[in-house]
Amino acid sequence: MKSLRIWLLMMSSSIVHADSVWDKDISSLATSLALEQSNNIYNSSAHRIAASAYTLTIANNSTLLFEGYGLALPFSISHATYSNIDTLDNTAYQLRPQLQLFLSPDATVKLNAGLTKEQLISGDSGVELFKSGPQPLSKKQQRLDATLQIGKAPENRFFSINIRYLKNNINNDHSSSSNDSRQISSRYGYKISEDSYLQLSGRYASQRINQLSSQLVEGGLGFITGLGGSNKLNVIVGGYKQIAQDKTGLFWTISDRWKISDLTTLNFSTSQRSVLSTDFRHVSQVTTTYQLDGSYQLNQHHEFLLALNNRQSKGVGANHYSKKQNLSIGWNWRVFEGIQLHSYISVAQQQRSNLLESPDINQRRVGLKVAYQW
């Protein structure tokens, strides 16, 4: 059900967000029922098994504002039941409390925590290089981070510094892996024109996976520009070094949101980063992504969506890689006030190395979801 959750998040149907809105009190509750059919549930060319999954989700988002601070308590819980494959039935949850301190009109401190559990299949995003065969994986994540942010557009400059701790445990009956990361990062921007900023970024991370460890140093230079008002282009390009592996390389993060008209929006993003490996035999891997998605608002009730995604992950060695291309087409129908219907079809082509089977994997998913929010 990984692709279903990603697609529904892209359509903004979930009310559990990484960042809450801090301008008013919010109290909302949503429930949904989703059906997804896959022709290759295990992302495998040797174990091609079709299955259907029914997922019931309940989500809540509450934001409370007080004098000088705000508190958000978003959470969601879902249960998935699979046809004819009882071993895939699972319960997932997500809890992400947030505390925001308003120190002054242009200075805030954000404190975030996170506790999540989800089921993945080898080859899904986040476990591209994890070899588990036709067995589901259980992933639990703990996250703590604090951010100091000074300055907001259209001020002349801005500065932010973030400290983060992240821990993941991935396992099933046959294999397991544990990794964690402690990092500090910062970003500085300086206004150079009416809607453009020059920005600098830096990051240091201490990373560990099982008994292996390394340190990552990263530095970059870029800019932010509105391109006349219809775009929001954000670019950072730089270099990184994995100290323990004595490995250097380029990294980048580029994103652009183009509002073509009042009805049409186009988003493009690409990134290349050295990240914690999804294979427990190595500390790091290089992941490169390209994504293009767009939406067309036919009227106040109907919206059409399109998403193209390419994700490549390279581990240690030329024969240790994963490449996946995905095309998704969706339709969002606001039936009544508070009731929404989402449908989509997704087609994926994946290549993975070090498999005891053909490296070429095809997968097709069709989904339908009914949601009610009040």
Which tens digit of pLDDT belongs to each residue from 6-60? 444 444 333 444 456 788 888 899 999 999 999 999 888 778 899 999 999 999 9
Please say whether the beta carbons of 221 and 197 come within 8 A: no
Domain ranges, residue 349: 2-373
Strand partners, 163: 146, 184
Q: Is the per-residue pLDDT at 166 higher than 80?
A: yes
Residue 255 C-alpha from the chain's centroid: 14
Report the pLDDT value the prediction gives residue 105, as an integer from 0 to 100: 84
Phi and psi at residue 201, to the nearest 5°: -140, 155
Compute the average pLDDT of residues 149-156.
Answer: 74
Domain count, the chain: 1
Distance CA 43, CA 121 (A): 7
Residue 5: its H or E element: helix 2-10
User: What CATH number did the domain enclosing 240 receive?
Assistant: 2.40.160
For residue 5, what pLDDT is reported?
Answer: 43
CA-CA distance, 251 to 241, in Å (whole number)?
Answer: 10
Give tens-digit pLDDT for 336-371.
Answer: 888 999 999 999 998 877 555 556 788 999 999 999
Among 52-56, 69-73, 166-170, 175-179, whose mean pLDDT is lowest? 175-179
